[in-house]
Amino acid sequence: MGSLSSSKSDAGVTQESATDGGLKTLHYTARAGLLSELSRQTYDSLYKAIREAILNGIDAGATRIQIDLGLDPNEDEIVLADDGEGMDLEGLRRSFMSLGGSAKYKDAAKFGRIGIGSLALLTYAREGIIETKRSSDAEVVEAHLFHPQALDRKQRSQRLEDFAAGQVSTRAYAGNPDDHFTRIRLVGLAPEAKLVIREPSGFYALVDQMRRVLPLPLGNSRLVSSLEKEDPELVQLLRAHADQWSVPITVSSPIHENLALHKRTFGDDSNEEWAGRIQPLHRKLRIIKPGERRELVVAGFLVNQRRSSPTWSGLTARVQNVAVEEHTFFGVETDPGFRKYITGEVFLLGEVDVDHLININRTSFNSESRDYQTTQRFVGEEVEHFKRHQVALGQRRKVEVRRVLEDYRLMVEEVERLAHWVDHVMHLVRSGHGLPSSKNGSLSRAPMDGITQRISALGARMVMDDQATPSAGYRIERPADSDRLTVRTAERLANPSVEVGRKVYALSLRRGKPNGPAVIVKNRPREIIFNTGHPAIGKECTGNQASQVLALEMSYLLAETGDADRLYELMLGFFSNR
């Protein structure tokens, strides 16, 4: 191609004469409307915008960061201050006001890389005021930036280099010349930003969100302590990584002053319980392509929520200890009913290609990235395995145990109901004494098959606890750090009894021969035994079957010494009303 001399037109086409066919070079023309679109679509939540300002402060070498929410009673404003290296006037223009040309690009020691962080907070205020100073400088740089969303049609059409984004000035600094800092004040807050200042619910919701996404130390939460029992080496790795990528962050407001932020993990709230063991994730993955060999590390954990919560459903994926994707399942889309119980965190460590992995909004991954595709295959398989063997299996066991307990509970209720009827018959027929004993066999040598044994066979254990059981008489739990279900049951359900003729009879189930008696009444000790091996009762031994068989047995026994015709009529009436 021949040489070209050019001058650019407003349309972005180079005006030039060409010696090889009249080819012209095209250039993009950036206009001011790009500001509002970038800020609105990139930072869709206040906590994400605050996150960007905090990351810029850490990149500037800050050792502490303070967030003040509405401390000035005369102003609804948010102030973010850090003790980073600060900027002079030229640094403000070159770094803070530069879009898309960040000097941090490809710098593995920095969070920033795109160069649009200055737009983050202006979505939530009419104006942003930046005060910044470098060590040994005698002046403070003060810049006033206008809200990009407030642009009218004429302003939006301006070329970006001609658009007045604000004003900047310098003033003498009266403090210690060695001071260095950056303070960002947001004034004229948007309604969603005012909410966090005026309402405790909004303030604590913002704090909770920031604790989940910001680069904070790992801490000593209940969940981390449990994970440490499973894999202490993994926790040591995560602690070291979090310490490397974090600084102390404090939040103050009229609602709560000097609140030091600590990392939020599932289980910090007493209502957040997990079931079974925490599943550690720790795998080295190799990225191999022409001219490049890297090794990244996937580290984290999977947790099975006892009660699913939309707030915690899915994994939080972190790079440089900052949350990138929330509520992700790394491509696993099957069985959403079980999937919603899974939560956890995934940290990407090692030689991560951050610049190609993370999208511009820092809230999602680039699915075309080799790092993401490699990570997705591993984590996706782990999520599927965890879902099958922890979540789904646990839920199926709960269903099986609940079915057995419900069948048994209904049977006990039916038998108790029948006992009241028999007690009435006893007064009519031969008042004053208990049931006579059966004369048609014994099940005393048959193996026990009571409710405790049946529950144990389903992989659960029973604990007697009348105080902790609801009206149903039982509660099914899957304790943390255990794969086995626990059934807390009332004594009356596990060891039921009925009163007949002023005598108390224990109820029990034992598996006998199919051709043996269906029910036996014993007087020493007083016991009514159901033969669960008898076809009349059946495998499930439902309440309706058991009570009817018992009614027939008791009518037979009572008829030996009472008015058989009268008893028979009462029995017919009983069954017809069921």
pLDDT in tens, 413-450: 887 887 777 777 666 655 556 677 775 555 555 566 67
Higher pLDDT, 346 or 47: 346
Structural tokens at position 298: 């996937």
Q: Locate 6 and state its tokens.
A: 């050019």
pLDDT at site 480: 67
The Cα–Cα gap between 406 and 479 comes to: 21
pLDDT of residue 17: 47
Least Cα distance to 171 among 128, 135, 131 occurs for 131
User: Beta strands of 70-179 (E only): which ranges?
Assistant: 77-82, 125-133, 139-146, 166-172
Residues 6+ apart with CB under 8 A from 514: 533, 534, 535
pLDDT tens for each residue of 459-478: 888 888 888 888 888 888 87
For residue range 68-88, what is the model confidence (pLDDT) as tens digits? Answer: 998 877 778 999 999 999 999
| Residue-level length of the chain | 578
What pLDDT score does 564 carry? 60
- Looking at the DSSP bridge assignments, the partners of residue 143 are 130, 168
C-alpha distances in angstroms, 427 versus 52, 433, 569? 82, 9, 16
Beta carbons of 50 and 175 less than 8 angstroms apart: no
Distance of alpha carbon 400 from alpha carbon 387, whole angstroms: 18
CA 72 to chain CA mean position, Å: 35
Neighbours of 126 (CB within 10 A): 14
Nearest to 251 by CA among 241, 240, 261: 261
Give pLDDT, residue 442: 56
| Model confidence pLDDT, tens digit, residues 14-44 | 444 445 567 888 888 888 787 777 766 666 7
Yes or no: is domain 33-198 CATH 3.30.565.10? Answer: yes
pLDDT of 560 reads 58
Instruction: Give the Cα separation of 82 and 56 in Å (integer).
Output: 10
Strand partners of residue 506: 497, 527
Beta bridge partners of residue 80, listed in sequence order = 67, 184
Beta carbons within 8 Å of 194's beta carbon, 6+ residues apart: 76
For residues 121 and 113, what is the distance between their CA atoms, to the nearest angstrom? Answer: 17
Q: Where are the domains of the chain?
A: 33-198, 214-368, 398-576
Banded model confidence at residue 5, pLDDT cuts 50, 70, 90: very low
What pLDDT sits at residue 122? 78
Q: Are strands 181-189 and 249-252 parallel, antiparallel or unpaired?
A: unpaired
Each residue of 235-244: b (16+ CB within 10 Å) or e? bebbbebbee
Give the span between the Cα atoms of 68 and 250, in whole angstroms: 8
The pLDDT value recorded for residue 112 is 60
Q: What is the pLDDT of residue 507?
A: 83
CA gap 202, 207 in Å, rounded? 9
For residue 109, the model assigns a pLDDT of 63
> What does the pLDDT read at residue 346?
98
pLDDT of residue 550: 75
pLDDT above 50 for 2: no
- pLDDT band at residue 549, thresholds of 50, 70 and 90? confident
Question: Hey, which of 69-83, 88-102, 409-423, 534-548 has the most confident mean pLDDT?
Answer: 69-83
With beta carbons less than 8 A apart as the criterion, state whether 553 and 562 touch: no
Of 263-272, 418-427, 560-569, the least confident: 560-569
Q: Give the pLDDT of residue 365.
A: 92
Cβ atoms of 505 and 528 within 8 Å: the answer is yes
What is the C-alpha separation between 578 and 573, in angstroms, rounded? 9
Angle at which helices 222-230 and 232-244 cross, to 10°: 130
Top mean-pLDDT range of 84-98, 132-146, 400-414: 132-146
| For residues 173-185, average pLDDT | 94
pLDDT at residue 149 tops 50? yes
- The DSSP code sequence of 338-363 is HHTTEEEEEEEEES--HHHHB-TTSS
Peptide bond into 73 cis (omega under 30): no
Is the pLDDT reported for residue 3 higher than 50? no
H or E element, residue 492: helix 491-494
Find the largest Cα–Cα distance for the chain: 126
pLDDT given at position 448:
60
- Winning range, highest mean pLDDT, from 177-181, 334-338, 479-483, 502-506: 177-181
pLDDT at residue 208 tops 70: yes
